[in-house]
C-alpha cells in the first residue's frame, strides 16, 4: 500500500507541475500578444481542454503504475492534488501579473466592463452605471481573483477527476 501512496504523490506533483507550467505559458502568450485583459472565448476552451487532458492522463498513468487498478477515491485524491498544484502555480503567475507586469490590470478591466455595460444597455442612467461599477469594483482585486482561481481549480479538478475516476476505476480483487 505504501508504494501506491508514493506513486500517487509522484503523479500529483509531476502532472500538477506540467499543468501549471502549460497554464502559465498560455497566459504568457496572452500577455505577450496583449490579449490578457479580455481573451477570446476560444482561449478559455483550449485551457479547459488542456486541463481535462492532463487530468485524465495523470489518472491513466496512476492506473498503469498500479497494475491496472484504481479506486474512485484514489482518482479524486490525485485529481485534486494535480488541480491544487497547478492552481497554486497559476496563482503565483496571477499575483506577478497584477502586481508587477500589469499594475493597471484592474483599471483596464473595469474600463472594458464599463464600455461593455454601456454598449449592451444604452438606456442605463449614470447612477445605474455608477452603482453597477461600484459592485463590480468590490469583486475586482488580487485577493478576490486568486480566491476564485483556487476555488474554481479545485472545483473543476474534483468534477473532472470524479467523472474520469468513474470511467477508469477498477478495483483490485486481491485487496
Structural domain tally of the chain?
A: 1
Cell numbers for 99, please give them: 502586481
pLDDT by residue (tens digit) across 91-145?
999 999 999 999 999 899 899 888 988 898 888 888 988 898 888 888 888 899 9
- 3-class SS at 150? helix
Domain membership of residue 149 (yes or no) is yes
Domain membership of residue 122 (yes or no) is no
Place of cell 444597455: 121
Domain membership of residue 123 (yes or no) is no
Domain membership of residue 63 (yes or no) is yes
Q: What is the structure's pLDDT at 55?
A: 98
Helix axes 142-168, 72-96, angle to 10 degrees: 160
Domain membership of residue 90 (yes or no) is yes
Q: Which domain holds residue 9?
A: 2-99+143-168
| Phi, psi angles (nearest 5°) of residue 73 | -60, -40
Report which DSSP code applies to 104: T
Domain membership of residue 109 (yes or no) is no
pLDDT by residue (tens digit) across 7-49?
899 999 999 999 999 999 999 999 999 999 889 999 999 999 9
Domain membership of residue 164 (yes or no) is yes
**pTM reported for the whole predicted model:** 0.89
The CA distances from residue 11 to 3, 69, 82, in Å, are 12, 15, 8
Domain membership of residue 80 (yes or no) is yes
Place of cell 478559455: 44
Cell numbers for 126, please give them: 449614470
Q: How confident is the model at residue 1 (pLDDT cuts 50, 70, 90)?
A: very low
Amino acid at each position: 500500500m505504501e508504494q501506491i501512496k508514493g506513486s500517487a504523490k509522484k503523479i500529483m506533483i509531476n502532472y500538477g507541475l506540467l499543468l501549471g507550467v502549460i497554464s502559465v505559458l498560455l497566459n504568457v502568450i496572452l500577455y505577450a500578444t496583449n490579449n490578457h485583459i479580455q481573451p477570446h472565448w476560444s482561449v478559455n476552451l483550449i485551457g479547459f481542454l488542456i486541463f481535462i487532458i492532463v487530468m485524465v492522463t495523470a489518472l491513466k498513468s496512476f492506473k498503469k503504475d498500479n497494475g491496472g487498478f484504481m479506486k474512485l477515491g484514489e482518482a479524486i485524491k490525485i485529481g485534486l492534488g494535480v488541480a491544487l498544484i497547478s492552481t497554486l502555480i497559476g496563482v503565483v503567475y496571477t499575483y506577478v501579473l497584477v502586481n508587477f507586469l500589469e499594475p493597471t490590470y484592474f483599471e483596464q478591466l473595469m474600463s472594458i466592463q464599463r464600455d461593455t455595460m454601456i454598449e449592451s444597455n444604452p438606456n442605463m442612467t449614470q447612477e445605474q452605471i455608477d452603482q453597477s461599477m461600484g459592485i463590480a469594483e468590490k469583486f475586482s482585486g488580487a485577493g478576490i481573483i486568486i480566491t476564485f482561481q483556487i476555488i474554481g481549480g479545485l472545483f473543476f479538478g474534483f468534477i473532472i477527476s470524479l467523472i474520469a475516476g468513474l470511467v477508469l476505476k477498477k478495483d483490485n480483487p486481491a485487496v
